[in-house]
Structure 1
């Protein structure tokens, strides 16, 4: 009976130690920070900003032309027939609808480009995380980004390993209102 108690005690301690060993095989990383600092993401941001500016400039030009046309038609309204004024009003409405359609198309195009080009970036980060986790013997890697549910991240932080593997860039400083002008 005494040997059985000793055997059970040893088994219990061994199982307890296994749990402790496994608890230390958890890593964490702020995935949002990793993605934001990847060179590919910065390149994508610059490309999206360039495309957005192009669309914005084109739409602003269209709006300027419409505004000039509207002012001209408003000034000439008294000297035109009712039929001409009705035709001009429809022309302005149609032009306004084209501008709104151009805005929607621009937003959709930008979102589609961003989504399409972000997928390989996410896959690259995921692959690197899995490789580093395997090399460090981590069973779990948690996303410690704000709002992801990790309240305490006291395991192994693999950010610096990812920084070396992916060539991550330094954190960007938030743009203030004065630098955006």
Structure 2
């Protein structure tokens, strides 16, 4: 085999390989779901409601802790005048009140607490609408993957031409 024939063979194989690879190329895009969500009025209203509710609960809990502090201060001031039984009863009362407030805090702000449930109730339908729009967009345009740039997916570099956030925003209008 001559050098010229070898070069032609390599060139033909390269063209065949590139054609095979390009026929299996996947279409990829990304969107910024946070940008999309923050542009939706219902989402902003839900966030305001959540923030307002959380602030009210924080105030309630702070008031309860203030009551505990008052109980403790009264106990400290009266401690020398109290019998051993009365001191033990008051200490237990303070500890029980602290436990009660910690439980309230957990019920409101814990991983499966009331705030989490309220967030699911208010935000999930909006998120589902956005995800449905993204899925529909991907299907219509033939995208194989659409990544969420805001989700901490580890995307280090992305070509801005693949950002389809604006297209999804238009689709939601």
In the aligned structure 2, how far is the partner of 1:33 from the partner of 1:58?
33
| Cα shift readout 1:35-67 (whole Å, capped 9, x = no counterpart) | 344333322221111111111111111111221
The one of 30, 43, 46 equivalent to 2:45 is 43
Q: Secondary structure at the match of 1:145?
A: helix
- Length-normalised TM-score, structure 1: 0.71
Gaps of 5+ in 2: 1-10
Q: Secondary structure at the match of 2:30?
A: strand
- 2:165 maps to 159
Query: Post-superposition shift, 1:98?
Result: 0.9
The one of 135, 138, 141 equivalent to 2:146 is 141
- 1:131 maps to 136
In the aligned structure 2, how far is the partner of 1:13 from the partner of 1:121?
47
Q: Taking structure 1 as reference, are residues 72 and 134 closer, same or farther at Cα in structure 2, changes over 3 Å only? A: same
Q: Taking structure 1 as reference, are residues 18 and 70 closer, same or farther at Cα in structure 2, changes over 3 Å only? A: same
In the aligned structure 2, how far is the partner of 1:123 from the partner of 1:102?
31
Q: Taking structure 1 as reference, are residues 135 and 117 closer, same or farther at Cα in structure 2, changes over 3 Å only? A: same
In the aligned structure 2, how far is the partner of 1:19 from the partner of 1:40?
44
The one of 117, 134, 137 equivalent to 2:122 is 117
Q: Taking structure 1 as reference, are residues 151 and 23 closer, same or farther at Cα in structure 2, changes over 3 Å only? A: farther
Gaps of 5+ in 1: 1-8, 168-181
| Cα shift readout 1:90-147 (whole Å, capped 9, x = no counterpart) | 1111111111111111111112222343322221111111222233343332333363
Q: Specify which structure has the higher proportion of helix.
A: 2
Aligned residues: 159
Q: Taking structure 1 as reference, are residues 160 and 18 closer, same or farther at Cα in structure 2, changes over 3 Å only? A: farther
Q: Taking structure 1 as reference, are residues 71 and 152 closer, same or farther at Cα in structure 2, changes over 3 Å only? A: closer
In the aligned structure 1, how far is the partner of 2:24 from the partner of 2:122?
37
Query: Is residue 28–residue 141 contact of structure 1 (8 Å, CA) maintained in 2?
Result: yes
